[in-house]
Amino acid sequence: MDFFNLEKLLKTTAINKNRNMNILLVNPLTHSLYGAEYEDVPTISRKIALKLIEFPRPIALFLLVALTPDEHNIRIVEGKPDDIDYDVDVDLVGISFTTRYAPLAYQIADRFMERGVKVVLGGWHPSALPEEAIQHADSVVVGEAEYIWPKLLEDAKNNKLKRFYIQDKPVDVMDIPSLTSIFNDIDVPIGIQATRGCPHGCEYCAITHMIYRNIFRARPVEIVVDEIEKLPQETFIFFDNSLTISPRYTKRLFKEIVDRGINKKFTCFGNINILGRDEELLFLSNEAGCVAWLVGFESVSQESLDSVKKKTNVVKNYKSAVAKIHDYNLFIVGNFVFGFDGDGLDIFQETVDMIKTCEIDVPDIMILTPLPGTPLFRRLDAENRILTYDWSKYNFENVVFQPKNMTPEELLINSRLAFKEVYSTSNIIYRVAKAFRFSMYKTIDVAIRNFYLSKKRYQKT
Ligand code: SF4
C-alpha cells in the first residue's frame, strides 16, 4: 500500500479515546516530500527517504490531539479535497493551514459545512485573515490554541461555538502539552519543538508577526529531551523557528541529549552568523546528533537584507561561517530568496556564485512571497504591487507582486534559470561527492535532499 494512502493514515493516526464527539483534523496538502508532487516521486524512493531523513507533519495538529480531553474521539487525515471522505461520522472538523493551502482548505471546509458538520479553521493563514476564513467555517482560531481548544470543544458540544477564538495571553511553556502520550498511536514522522517564537521581526516573516509569536519562549530542557528519548523515530527535526536565538539554552539542550546517551539524528534551524562564531555550539550540536543546520541566508546582497530588516545576517561573513560549520562535520541546507527591493538583475548570478564558492550542500532557491499578515504584504499592498490574491500561487515559486528593479517575468525566468544551474547534474554530483568528507550517512542524506529539491521547484519548465 502506498505510504500516502489516506486510509492508512486514517488508521495510523487514529487515537482511541472514549467517544463523546468525533473530531476530524485535516492537513490539506498537494505535495509530498520536499514539495515534489506525489506522482513525480517513485514510491520506492519515498520509502527509502522516509527511513533516512525526517519528513514531519505540522506539529499543530498533534498538539491539538494532545490537548483534546479523553472523552472525545479524534483522528487526523491529510490529502487533497477529493481524497477526503465527507460521509465519515464526524461532529467537528478542524483544519490548520498556511497560505498556499488556503484554497484547498476552503474547499474541504465548504464540503463539510454543506453536510452540516461544524468546521473550525486555524493556523498561519486563518490567523492572518480571520475575516476571510470565517466565510468558510463556524469558528476561526487566531494564533496559539493551547488555552482555547478545550473551551472551544466544550462550546461545540453545547452548540455554542463563537465566531472567533483568540487567547488573551501567550502560552506559558509549561502549558505546551507533551506529545509523548500520542507517540504510540502514530507512525508518521513528527518533529520536536523546544522553543517558540522569534523576536527578530524580519519584514517578510509570517512567524514573528503572528500574535505572541514575537515572544521567544523555551520549554524546560528536561521535558524536551524526555520527548526526544521517547520519540519512535531515529531521525527528527527541531521545528523551532531558530535554535540560535538563545545559544545558552540550546547548548544546555544539546548537553542533556549527550548526557542521556540518546543516539538519534536531527536537523535544526539556525542563524549563519551565530553559528559562524560559536564553535562550542557547533561542537555540541555535532555531539548531540545534529547532521545539518537549516540556514536562511535569504540574500547575498546586504542592501536587500537591510531592506527587509533582516538584521541577523552579514553577507561578508557567509563564507567563513559556512567553512566553520563544515569543520564540525555538519552540512548546510541553505535557503536563498530572489525579489527583494534591493535586488537587481545581477543578483541571480551572484547568488549562484556564492552557493558554489561557499559549497552550500543543499541549496534552495525561492521567490519572495509576501504572506498575508506580514508588514511586507501590507507595504506592497499599499503600494499597489500585489499582482494576485490567488493564494495557491503563494508557494514561493510564482511571482505574486511587482518587483522593484525588474519585471515579474524577469524575476520568474531568472529564478528558474538560477535554480537549473544550481541543480545541474554536474553540480549535484559535485555536492554529493564533497559530502563524503562528512560520513556515509550524511552523503546519502545530502544526495536525497539534492534529488528531491531538484524535483521540487520549477520542474514544469
Ligand atoms: S530570524 Fe527567521 S524566524 Fe526570526 S523573524 Fe527573521 S525570518 Fe522570522
Would you kindly state where each structural domain of the chain is located, as residue ranges?
6-166, 192-456
Return the best residue to mutate from 203, 216, 241 for the ligand 1 pocket (most ligand atoms within 8 A of CB). Answer: 241
From 193, 195, 202, 313, mutation site for ligand 1 pocket: most ligand atoms within 8 A of C-beta:
202
Average pLDDT for runs of 10 along the chain of length 461: 34 51 88 45 51 64 92 88 91 96 96 97 97 98 96 96 96 92 73 94 92 94 95 88 97 98 95 97 98 97 94 95 98 98 97 98 97 97 98 95 98 96 96 96 92 73 42
**Which pLDDT value is given to residue 380?**
98
φ/ψ of residue 338, rounded to 5:
-110, 145
Q: What is the pLDDT of residue 45?
A: 54
**Residues whose CB is less than 8 angstroms from the CB of residue 51 and which lie 6 or more positions away in sequence, other chains included:** none
Q: Is the CB of 305 under 6 A from ligand 1?
A: no
Q: Is 208 in the pocket of ligand 1 (CB under 6 A)?
A: yes
Q: Which atom of ligand 1 is nearest to the CA of 207?
A: 8
Is there an atom of ligand 1 within 6 Å of 374 CB?
no
User: Which atom of ligand 1 is nearest the CA belonging to 198?
Assistant: 4
Q: Is the CB of 205 under 6 A from ligand 1?
A: yes
Residue 160: burial class (beta carbons within 10 Å; 0-12, 13-18, 19+):
exposed
Rounded Cα–Cα distance for residues 206 and 165 (Å): 19
Angle between the N-to-C axes of helices 247-259 and 279-288, in degrees from 0 to 180, rounded to the nearest 10: 30
Asked if residues 165 and 141 have their Cβ atoms less than 8 Å apart, the reply is yes
- Grid look-up 562550542 returns 280
User: SS3 of 265, please?
Assistant: strand
Evaluate: CB of 245 within 6 angstroms of ligand 1. no
Q: What is the C-alpha separation between 192 and 268, in angstroms, rounded?
A: 10
Q: Is 450 exposed, middle or buried (0-12, 13-18, 19+ CB in 10 A)?
A: buried
**CA 364 to ligand 1 center in whole angstroms:** 17
Is 171 within 8 Å of 147 (Cβ atoms)? Answer: yes
Cα–Cα distance between 350 and 301 in angstroms, integer?
A: 9
> Strand order in 139-142's β-sheet?
73-79, 22-28, 92-96, 118-122, 139-142, 164-166
Is the C-beta atom of 242 inside 6 A of ligand 1? yes
Residue 67 beta carbon below 6 angstroms from any ligand 1 atom? no
The vertex-232 CA angle with 226 and 234, nearest 5°, equals 95
Query: Ligand 1: which of 124, 200, 217 to mutate, judged by most atoms within 8 Å of the beta carbon?
Result: 200
CATH topology of domain 192-456: pyruvate-formate lyase- activating enzyme (3.80.30)
Task: Check pocket membership of 241 for ligand 1, CB cut-off 6 A.
Answer: yes
Distance 204 CA to ligand 1 centre (A): 9
- CA separation for the pair 363, 271 (Å, rounded): 15
Sheet holding 290-298, edge to edge: 235-237, 265-270, 290-298, 331-338, 362-367
Architecture of the structural domain at 6-166: 3-Layer(aba) Sandwich (3.40)
For β-strands 217-218 and 195-196, DSSP reports them as antiparallel
Residue 309 alpha carbon to ligand 1 centre in Å: 10
Q: Can you tell me which atom of ligand 1 is nearest the CA of 312?
A: 1
201 C-alpha to ligand 1 centroid (Å): 6
**Which residue, judged by its Cα, is nearest atom 1 of ligand 1?**
200
Helix, strand, coil percentages in the chain from 3-state DSSP, rounded to 5: 45, 15, 40
Q: Are 250 and 244 in contact (CB under 8 A)?
A: yes
Distance 271 CA to ligand 1 centre (A): 9
